[in-house]
Structure 1
Amino acid sequence: MQLIKNAKILEHGNLVKRDVLIEAKKIIQVAENVTQEDADIFDAKGAFLSSGLVDVHVHFREPGFNYKETIETGSKAAAHGGFTTVLAMPNLNPVPDTAARVASQIKLNNKSSNIHIAQYGAISANLTHQNISDIVGMSEAGAVAFSNDGKGVQTADTMLQAMIAAAKVDKPLAAHLEDDSLLHHGVMNAGKQSEKLNLPGITGLAESSQLARDLVLAKATGVHYHVAHISTKTSVELVRIAKQQGINVTAEVSPHHILLADTDITNDNALYKMNPPLRSQADRQAVVAGLLDGTIDMIATDHAPHGLDEKSKSFVEAPFGITGIETSFQLLYTHLVKSGIMTLETLLDRMITAPITAFHLNAPKVIKSGNTADLALFDLDHTVTIATEDFESKGKNTPFIGWQIYGQTIATWVDGVIVYTNNFEL
């Protein structure tokens, strides 16, 4: 039995002092003052206690790319960030594109992780085949959703058949939007900055044109269609119109697209290379506006670790991708909530409630008696500097190193067990 004393939790938009008593994976009491003689005491010292964060878009790289990340290091990184539930993408080797491979991946996830990992199945074999995978079989094997993340679905018929199958099993289909014919070997957003740096650009049309196609197909099939890492003003407008028309669409945005733009890329630094790329300031402002008004439902990190040698290469040669799961809440609390752009209540909705609701996840949305004790404790009052030596992830590939942040994670509980603590003295 554990007793968290002197925490602050969010109730009706206000931070209030509460004690939380935990027994057998569950919260059994939440009150202003709880006493329990035989409980192990954790003194929160006035820090902020939340339900565990949820990320519907991570890459843990195992099997196939263990030098970048493993399920163990990825789950430790998630716990460090305050996340207790994540959804893992299928761009692995082998790709979980059959029922047997999905079942095998889920078994590996459960064996190696200290948090809850739900698994995507691949839309098509090896993420590239035009014929769809056995979506019904993968669903029965435990896949919670389907995606070819890392690859855009290039043919309309492949996407249509995938939508029909996903609708049949009532599972979301998450789209990485990328029309290969419009890429032209680009490595950053096409615009004045790419021209200034003499780097090949990727037009926003590569995303938005495929989104427009998919929204028409989603309307016809009734599938729950989820837009991964939305990045352009046009895409936000398309999702807004689609929702007004009653299309069953949700969307996510990543912290780097909220906080950074292509103008932040001032030299050949591949830590700024991600897919989709950092867009214009107008695009960045549009995704922030979409997040605030609910057009964009949730925040997802697209945590994509790479080896140091890979990201040390030139912008043209380095792989796309940025780590993010250890810094996302902290960066967004600092730059959205502390600045007055967004309330803490809205941020938690976008990082907990909305993803749980959209993906029908068995995870707690709030702290109350009877709920699973998946919790995270954050220090909202003191600043720290983001430093690579503090990362649990193998990947250090982020341009946010050196940024000052509030919201450091103090401790994370999964099923009532502490899976991360930094022993920080408040």
Structure 2
Amino acid sequence: MSLVLKGGNVFIENEFKKVDIFIKDGKIEKLTNSEPLHNEKVVNVEGKYVIPSCIDPHVHIYKGKEDYLSASKAALCGGYTTIFLMPFGNGDSATSLKIYEKKKLSAKNELLIDFSIHAGATAINQLEIKELAENGVLTFKIFLPFSSHDFPTPENEYELIDVLNSISRVGGLALIHAENRVAIESFRKKFIMEGKTQPLDFMNSRPVLAEVEAVTNTILFANLTNCPIYFVHISTGTACEIINYAKQQNKTVFAETCPQYLVLNEEIYQEKGSLARVIPPIRSKEQQEKLWAHLINGTIDTIGTDHCPMPIREKSRNIFYSNNGIPGLETALSLLLNQVNQNKLSFERVIQLMSTNPAKIFGLFPNKGIIRKGSQADLCIIDMNKSAKISIDELYTKGEFTLYEGFKVKGVPIMTLFKGKIMMEDGFPGKINVIKNKTEYLKIKFDPKKLVN
């Protein structure tokens, strides 16, 4: 049976228009306010806003800490119908085609929504990069701060240039965690030796300089190797100044930030202690204000959540020894919509950051990231007048805490459609309808000539 979303304010061609959306076979069939109804199921969305559902380019799912079903529910509750999984795993990071295919099969069998996976690029897997690319994998995460046995990262500038060269040769996109390894390891040792191991010391041990230096050098090396780059979870406004300059020079450089860097500041370390450990760390109010300026002016291209739930037992050690990660899929959109209601950000910019731009960068547009005839009916219904109080007790994630506990937000997703099926309703937090709805693995069609702006 066809479905009609009737009477909503629909985001079409960069503005909201009051039209009805006719959905058939998982696609948007037509957009009109004059079509007579026949046997369609009608959902009244009068007074609500209809936007393309969110796309999260940055999600971690670790076995025993989150599973694909709980992550799917969290995503749907938060207005997401597409997620990109990071390559890291429990000792089996996706740095080869064999491991990549294993992760892909598991995700496809268990997720309720569409997905893709970023592969890992290390100091020793250049041959695997070529094989992955030959099989349609074109996005590669480079982790600069430290190595693990299954993810040996570039030890120096020469190794980084080699990795960027390998990605460039296959026509790929390098995703960069930008923190200078030598700087943060040196500061870490110094702080621990001096007994400076309080939560706020952790922020200071990974200084702004470490991100700025890594961003600057990576842009230089990317220019040298002609490799497009995408900086994940940029946390400082100062690093954005370098990125903005590179964009002005017409370099293919993208930047992502996360809600934790936009709505939290150094005060969270006093309130939450080691629970607040994420990398890069949450920054000062001064850096946060600079980051906001670059979010508004267009330097930042996307909002990722860096969703990475961790059990409290792994977060309750001293912050220098505890695990990184917080949940974010369910709360990200509401946190940003709350900023819209506070007149800090436009609704249109939120849609661009959380749906349209990720769709364009990763080659999913116009099937996703836009509401138009023929596009996939992945939609999110927003009530901008509805308020909610965030509580871990009401979230679907297996995470045991949220840094936003008690936060009051105004503007929430109340319904999420995936391929025309209502998968979440009565939000926030929402009732999930568990429907296996042809989850697809998405091959990224990265093309630098067809990108943002």
When the two structures are superposed, what TM-score results if normalisation uses the length of structure 1? 0.90
Match of 1:67 in 2: 64
Residue equivalent to 1:421 = 425
**Alignment partner of 1:359 is 2:362:** yes
Q: 3-state DSSP class of the match of 1:27?
A: strand
Q: Among 389, 399, 406, which residue is 1:385 paired with?
A: 389
Corresponding residue to 1:349 among 348, 352, 359? 352
1:90 maps onto 2:84 in alignment: no
**Could you list the per-position Cα deviations for residues 151-196 of structure 1 after superposition, in whole angstroms to 9, with x for gaps in the alignment?**
5544222322222222222221100112222224878xx9xxx898
The number of residue pairs the alignment matches comes to 411
Matched, 1:111 2:109: yes
Q: Which residue of 1 aligns with 2:285?
A: 281
User: How far apart, in 2, do the equivalents of 1:35 and 1:162 lie?
Assistant: 58
Pairing 1:167-182 to 2, within 5 Å after superposition: 167-182=168-183
The residue type paired with residue 105 of structure 2 is K
Structure 1 stretch 7-16 or stretch 304-313: which is displaced more?
A: 7-16
For the Cα contact (< 8 Å) 2:272–2:403, is it kept in 1? no
* Maintained 8 Å contact 1:20/1:34: no
> CA shift at 1:324, angstroms?
1.0
Per-residue displacement from partner, 1:54-99 (whole Å, max 9, x unpaired)? 11111122xxxx2211122112211111011111101113111111
Q: Find the counterpart in structure 1 of residue 21 from structure 2.
A: 20
Q: Which residue of 313, 322, 342 maps to 1:339?
A: 342
In structure 2, do the counterparts of structure 1 residues 197 and 117 end up closer, same or farther at CA, with 3 Å as the change threshold?
closer
SS in 2 for 1:410: strand
Deviation, structure 1 residue 417: 1.9
Out of 403, 407, 414, the position equivalent to 2:411 is 407
Equivalent residues of 2:142, 2:174 under 8 A apart: no
34-43 or 391-400, which moves further after superposition?
34-43
Contact 1:305 1:322 survives alignment (8 Å): yes
CA contact (8 A) 1:5 1:43 kept: yes
Among 289, 299, 320, the alignment partner of 1:295 is 299
Secondary structure of the corresponding residue to residue 416 of structure 2? strand
Between the aligned partners of 1:113 and 1:289, the Cα distance in structure 2 is: 36
Q: Distance in 1 between matches of 2:125 and 2:3?
A: 51
Instruction: Classify the secondary structure of the residue corresponding to 2:322.
Output: coil
Indicate if the aligned counterparts of 2:58 and 2:304 stay in contact, CA closer than 8 A: yes
Matched residues in 2 for 1:198 and 1:106: separation? 39
Amino acid paired to 2:139? A
The residue type paired with residue 111 of structure 2 is: S
Distance in 2 (alpha carbons) for counterparts of 1:120 and 1:207 = 22
Which stretches in structure 1 are left out of the alignment for 5+ residues?
none
Which residue in the other structure is 2:137 paired with? Answer: 143
Which amino acid is the alignment partner of residue 143 of structure 1?
V
Matched, 1:266 2:270: yes
| 3-state SS, counterpart of residue 361 of structure 2 | helix
Change (3 A) 1:134 1:13: closer
| CA 1:268–1:6: 2 relative to 1, 3 Å | closer
Question: In the alignment, residue 86 of structure 1 is paired with which amino acid?
Answer: I
Report the equivalent of 1:3. 4
Question: Quick check: 1:308 aligned with 2:312?
Answer: yes
Deviates more, 1:85-94 or 1:416-425: 416-425
Distance 1:48 1:313 in 2: 43
Q: In the alignment, is the contact (CA less than 8 A) between 1:100 and 1:141 conserved in 2?
A: no
Q: CA deviation at 1:44?
A: 2.1
The aligned counterpart of 1:211 is 215
Task: Give the residue type in structure 1 aligned to 2:201.
Answer: L
1:71 maps to amino acid: Y
Q: RMSD value over aligned CA atoms?
A: 2.4
- After superposition, the Cα gap between the structure-2 partners of 1:102 and 1:332, relative to the gap in structure 1 and judged at 3 Å, is same
Once residues 42 and 151 of structure 1 are traced to their aligned partners in structure 2, the CA distance between those partners, rounded to angstroms, is: 49
1:180/1:3 Cα in 2 relative to 1: closer, same or farther (>3 Å)? same
Alignment partners' CA distance in 1, 2:301 and 2:200: 35
Q: Check conservation: 1:154, 1:179, Cα contact below 8 A.
A: no
Displacement, 1:288? Answer: 0.8
Select which of 254, 258, 271 maps to 1:254: 258
* Deviation of the 1:213 alpha carbon: 1.3
1:268/1:365 CA distance change after superposition, 3 Å: closer
CA distance in 2, matches of 1:356, 1:313: 39
Shift of 1:308: 2.9
- Name the SS for the 1:173 alignment partner: strand
Distance 2:51 2:156 in 1: 42
For structure 2, the residue ranges without an aligned partner over 5 or more in a row are 147-153, 431-453
Q: Is 1:199 aligned to 2:201, yes or no?
A: yes
Provide closer, same or farther for how the CA distance between residues 130 and 211 of structure 1 changes in structure 2, counting only shifts above 3 A: farther
Residues in 2 aligned to 1:397 and 1:149: alpha-carbon distance in whole angstroms: 26
Assess, with a 3 A threshold, how the Cα gap between structure 1 residues 195 and 162 changes in structure 2: closer, same or farther. closer
TM-score by length of 2: 0.84
What is the letter of the counterpart of residue 40 of structure 2?
A
- Contact 2:279-2:324 within 8 A present in 1 as well: yes
Q: CA deviation at 1:267?
A: 4.6
Q: Using the alignment, how far apart are the partners of 1:60 and 1:396 within structure 2?
A: 14
Measured in 1, the distance between the counterparts of 2:64 and 2:145 equals 21
2:378 is matched with 374
3-state secondary structure, aligned to 2:386: coil
